[in-house]
């Protein structure tokens, strides 16, 4: 049975907070629009903020490796580059079957942790069974997240694939605040793939957007 991910989100947030402390991380209305991804923008904070608001492309992180291929940390229907110092880890099969790690039609398959690079958050990859198109999958993914609102969808080019991207707001009961989130969906012969970027808060989310852009621009079928 597919369930909403509100409980999962709270559990993941608690885990992220605890892990952040243990690792010393203190160091460091549903509307739809259609657009294509723009060329790389300026790397200034003002440009990145404007880019985020419009849903366009912003700064791109320095490459640190690739995941998705056979033999990599996460074997997926797609491959993409991850940011320097970020660490990828597959979600174990036993855990992936847990309903708490399902969101709409997809199940968590891989987590790319930003903590080694000094940020608190994850780039998570979710996979599903072949069937629905990318937009349908992405809308179901967002709808299954308790606290999600103001979603704006747009068609994009994700590397060599046609995809759909969404920017939305998430209100956390645990942290008692609202923050931006971003997700991208593509379909492959092996099923849909959703790449999602959250973050502890709005500041962490903005800081990690270049890693999301890197993943989007280098996405390919495995």
pLDDT, position 2: 37
pLDDT, position 49: 36
Q: What is the DSSP string of 79-107?
A: EEEEETT-EEEEPPHHHHTSGGGEETTEE
pLDDT, position 93: 64
**CB-based contacts of 173: which residues, under 8 Å, 6+ apart?**
6, 10, 147
The whole-angstrom separation of Cα 165 and Cα 185 is 6
pLDDT, position 17: 39
Q: Rounded to two decimals, what is the model's pTM?
A: 0.75
Instruction: Please answer whether residues 195 and 213 qualify as being in contact, where contact means their C-beta atoms are separated by less than 8 angstroms.
Output: no
Q: What tens digit of pLDDT does each residue of 54-103 get?
A: 344 579 999 999 999 999 999 999 999 999 999 999 998 665 556 679 99
CA 109 from centre of chain: 12
Low-confidence ranges of the chain (pLDDT < 70): 1-57, 93-99, 175
Residue 37: strand, helix, or coil: coil
Q: Give the DSSP H or E segment for 150.
A: strand 148-158
């Amino acid at each position: 049975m597919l369930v909403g991910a509100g409980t999962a989100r709270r559990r993941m947030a608690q885990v992220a907070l605890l892990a952040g402390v243990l690792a010393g991380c203190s160091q460091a209305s549903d509307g739809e629009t259609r657009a294509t991804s723009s060329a790389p923008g300026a790397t200034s904070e003002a440009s990145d903020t404007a880019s985020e608001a419009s849903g366009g492309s912003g700064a791109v992180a320095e490459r640190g490796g690739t995941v998705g291929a056979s033999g990599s940390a996460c074997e997926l229907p797609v491959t993409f580059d991850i940011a320097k110092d970020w660490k990828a880890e597959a979600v174990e099969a036993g855990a992936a079957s847990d309903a708490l790690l399902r969101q709409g039609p997809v199940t968590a398959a891989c987590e790319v942790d930003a903590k080694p690079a000094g940020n608190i958050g994850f780039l998570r990859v979710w996979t599903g069974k072949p069937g629905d198109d990318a937009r349908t999958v992405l809308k179901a993914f967002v709808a299954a997240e308790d606290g999600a609102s103001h979603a704006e969808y747009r068609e994009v080019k994700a590397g060599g694939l046609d995809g759909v991207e969404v920017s939305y707001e998430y209100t956390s009961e645990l942290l008692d605040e609202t923050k931006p989130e971003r997700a991208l969906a593509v379909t492959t012969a092996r099923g849909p793939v959703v790449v999602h970027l959250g973050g502890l808060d709005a500041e962490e989310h903005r800081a990690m957007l270049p890693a999301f852009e890197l993943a989007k621009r280098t996405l390919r079928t495995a």
